[in-house]
Amino acid sequence: MSKDSPRRAVVPVLVPMPAERPYSYAVPEGVEAPPGAIVRVPLGPREVAGIVWDGPGEAIEPKRLRAISQVFDCPPIPDDMRRFIDWVGHYTLTPPGLVARMALRAPAAFDPEPLIEALQATGAKPERMTAARSRVLELCAGGFPWTRSGLAHAAGVTPSVIDGLYGQGMFEKVMLPPPPVVAAPDPDHGPPDLTVDQAEAAEALACKVGAGGFSATLLDGVTGSGKTEVYFEAVAETVRQGKQALVLIPEIALTQAFLERFENRFGARPAEWHSDLPPRMREKVWRQAAEGRVRVVAGARSALFLPYKELGLIVVDEEHDPAYKQEDRVVYNARDMAVVRANMGGFPVILASATPSVESRVNADTGRYQRLALSARYANATLPELRAVDMRRSPPARGAFLSPVTVEAVARTLERGEQSLLFLNRRGYAPLTLCRVCGHRFQCPQCSTWLVEHRFRGQLACHHCGHSQPRPDACPECGTLDHLVACGPGVERIAEEAVSHFPDARIVVLSSDILGGTRRLRLELEAIARGEADIVIGTQLVAKGHNFPNMTLVAVVDADLGLANGDPRAAERTFQLLNQVTGRAGRSGGRSLGLIQTFQPEHPVMRALVSGDAGEFYAREIAERERGLLPPFGRLASLIVSAESKADAETHARALRRAAPPTDELSVLGPAEAPLALVAGRHRFRLLVQGSRRADIQAYLRQMIAGGPKPRGSVRVSVDVDPQSFL
Ligand code: ADP
Ligand code: ZN
């Protein structure tokens, strides 16, 4: 480089890699690359898209300094979004580059959408008029531009008719911006007729939107109380203010009914964002959210990382839902991060649930969040009458899983021409297969789990690593033929039992194993809502947000299932899930019944469900968390050390433990072999870091990891701050 070459500006660029810091790049002369700009930069042998970050670039040797190769013609990633990316990286101990990667998930969207060619009538008259021609020209009379194929379709003519007219100078070509993915929502399209309670809550929310600034509100209302109707009013106010709104919904891909309700209220659908979206659509939504053309997004957790131009509200529906926790790569809870995002953006966030998480409940109790309560179901819809079925007193027949009480209730429901739901959160036919002669149990060769029988497919499958093998006829251990038994129930087995009782009923089994994926599942759910099934047997997929007007009986086959593991949130989870499941019944008036099959009817979870009084249950859970210094009263993080050999994993975990700096505020538990000790051939050890809310747990974890040995060979360390899973 010659001495008098011009000094070039250097900027930091965050690249979508596990980079702890932005890298420095030169800005070519005459090029503008302000913070937030999306740029293409060379990285090693390739080029990647990154974001120009804040502050001056780190000084590096001029020889190694490479230049930005392109600044995309794209709205910059806004300031609050950049701070959010840094914050999430810091909080979850993830390199910020990996967080940025989530915001850059639509590479083709960095270039503007191409304009589309359209035809506009010039007003000239053709020499010869035909019926077809006059239909075409009539449509164009107002000067409104049409695409060639759109016009042909609307006029019911072949495109050659259009071409003929064009040839005679009846049209001129104009270039139009691509159409929006969804029409603009109209906040005054279909205003609801709210009840007094609903109107009060809606008013309070609209006021928060109107006032601007950060606020967090817990919208706490029983299932069917109209929480959606109420938060729609906050969305409407946001749209009126000229801001964008985001509604987070677990399983959005399955809840098409939500989109219809939104359309009834706003005259247009929200833009959807989830992993099932076709790539072209993802790109459009990304781009149009960045340009501010999309005003409302309904999405899964990752919608939090879209580059909204002017976000003004986030709603987290079913805020307690475990689906908000992402467990791979960037381990974060979208519910919590939504609150952070709103705080940074200075706008309101609404958390809605019939069974709020203990964390949110405490935040509402202490006044950190405002609470708005809706205590009654809308209109004549009454909550189902809930009853515990004591399985010790009304046991099922041998080899069966439905109590006579449940079978009888299903029979009555069938007689009335209404629907029943049998809920069991277990896929497949049976969770364990063993040999009756030698006791051999079928275990996954790569995981410490039993193989689940899927009788329909004739397979034994592992739900952790995906391993699957045909179900043999003979025991691989002792060779005896035809003596393998299935132990315990899955949904397929409950279906078999239901068929034996009700051979003429229309029975549907729904789980994520359904062939045909999300699309098929959606169709099935819609069919059920139309009444095209008598008995539905399903996993938690059927519990989420669906409205089955004719469903008047919900029976939980094994209410104790979720309570057995060593998870401190087991009781809370079970309560939330079962409340949501039984809430599927009786949503359109009339009597309905929820049956809870349990061996422990006196358990606090069952008592809270049956009595409908959650207060006492929450009080106990909260007291227990407080005593144990668990979130939200304390800090908690887990470290999973895994490796291909057990010794490597254990040695590394012990070394990390030794590297933990001494402090009074935090303590380290473990390492202990994780409950799932082996997954996909990797041995797992777990450390828990726990302690006072005042402690800086992130700094502590960083010290621990920095002070420990570098992971070598197959060793991996993954950090989970505020873990939800303890397996
Ligand atoms: P939640 O979200 O609290 O479970 P929803 O908002 O889904 O409750 O409301 C339950 C049902 O009641 C829905 O079918 C909804 O359309 C209806 N509903 C609630 N409030 C009203 C209202 N004010 N006017 C008309 N329908 C309502
Ligand atoms: Zn496995």
Which of 494, 496, 504, 492 lies closest to 414 in space, CA to CA? 504
Which of 511, 513, 508 lies closest to 468 in space, CA to CA? 513
Does residue 56 carry a pLDDT above 80?
A: no
Does 381-426+490-623 carry CATH code 3.40.50.620? no
Does residue 379 carry a pLDDT above 60?
A: yes
Q: What is the mean pLDDT of residues 112-121?
A: 89
Type of residue numbered 98 = L
Does residue 295 carry a pLDDT above 50?
A: yes
CA of 619 to the centre of ligand 1 (A): 28
Using DSSP's 3-state secondary structure scheme, residue 289 falls into: helix
* 197 alpha carbon, closest ligand: 1
Q: What is the pLDDT of residue 494?
A: 97
Fold equal for 196-379 and 381-426+490-623: yes
CA of 192 to the centre of ligand 1 (A): 10
Q: Determine how many CB atoms are found less than 10 A away from the CB of residue 79.
A: 13
Tell me the C-alpha distance between 410 and 642, whole Å. 47
Question: What's the pLDDT tens digit per position in 523-542?
Answer: 898 899 999 999 999 998 88
Does residue 401 carry a pLDDT above 70?
A: yes
CA of 717 to the centre of ligand 2 (A): 20
In ligand 1, the atom with minimum distance to the C-alpha of 194 is 23
Question: What's the pLDDT tens digit per position in 135-181?
Answer: 888 888 888 889 898 899 999 999 999 999 898 888 999 998 888 99
* 257 alpha carbon, closest ligand: 1
What is the residue extent of each domain of the chain?
10-104, 116-176, 196-379, 381-426+490-623, 428-488, 634-721
Structure tokens at 334: 């979208």
Q: What is the pLDDT of residue 382?
A: 75
Minimum CA distance residue for ligand 1 atom 6: 226
Q: Are 6 and 67 in contact (CB under 8 A)?
A: no
Strands, DSSP E only, in 28-66? 38-43, 46-52
Question: What's the pLDDT tens digit per position in 497-515?
Answer: 999 999 999 999 998 888 7
Domain spanning 196-379, CATH class = alpha beta
Which of 15-24, 89-98, 107-116, 217-226 tops mean pLDDT?
89-98
Question: What's the pLDDT tens digit per position in 11-46?
Answer: 999 999 998 899 999 999 999 999 999 999 999 999
Pocket test for ligand 1, best of 194, 222, 228 (most atoms within 8 A of CB): 228
Q: What is the mean pLDDT of residues 582-611?
A: 89
Q: What is the pLDDT of residue 8?
A: 60
Does residue 341 carry a pLDDT above 90?
A: yes
φ, ψ of residue 522 to 5 degrees: the values are: -65, -45
Question: What's the pLDDT tens digit per position in 209-223?
Answer: 999 999 999 999 988
CA of 443 to the centre of ligand 2 (A): 8
Q: pLDDT-derived band of residue 380, with 50, 70 and 90 as boundaries?
A: low
Type of residue numbered 624 = E
Type of residue numbered 280 = R
Pick the CATH number of 634-721 from 3.40.50.800, 3.20.20.450, 3.40.50.150, 3.30.70.600: 3.30.70.600
Residue with tokens 């004591």: 390
Strands, DSSP E only, in 568-665? 593-598, 634-643
Q: What is the pLDDT of residue 3?
A: 42
Q: Are 632 and 358 in contact (CB under 8 A)?
A: yes
Does residue 228 carry a pLDDT above 90?
A: yes
Which of 18, 12, 58 lies closest to 35 in space, CA to CA? 12
Structure tokens at 267: 């005259």
Does residue 621 carry a pLDDT above 90?
A: yes
Q: What is the mean pLDDT of residues 587-603?
A: 89
Alpha-helical segments (H) within 225-383? 227-240, 256-266, 279-291, 334-345, 358-365
CA of 444 to the centre of ligand 2 (A): 5
Does residue 6 carry a pLDDT above 60?
A: no
Which of 250, 246, 240, 290 lies closest to 270 in space, CA to CA? 246
Cα distance between the two ends of the chain: 57
Q: What is the mean pLDDT of residues 467-477?
A: 94
Which of 689, 710, 674, 452 lies closest to 567 in space, CA to CA? 674
Residue with tokens 């009539």: 138
Q: How far, in Å, are 41, 70, 162, 252 from residue 111 at the CA level?
A: 15, 11, 31, 28
Tell me the C-alpha distance between 43 and 28, whole Å. 17
Tell me the C-alpha distance between 220 and 227, whole Å. 8
For the chain, give the number of residues.
727
Using DSSP's 3-state secondary structure scheme, residue 690 falls into: strand
Which of 99, 86, 94 lies closest to 344 in space, CA to CA? 86
Type of residue numbered 707 = G
pLDDT top residue among 77 and 168: 77
Pick the CATH number of 10-104 from 3.40.1440.60, 3.30.43.10, 1.20.1530.20, 3.20.20.140: 3.40.1440.60
Q: Which residues line ligand 1 (CB under 6 A)?
A: 192-195, 198, 221, 223-229, 378, 547
Q: Is 646 exposed, middle or buried (0-12, 13-18, 19+ CB in 10 A)?
A: middle
Q: pLDDT-derived band of residue 377, with 50, 70 and 90 as boundaries?
A: confident
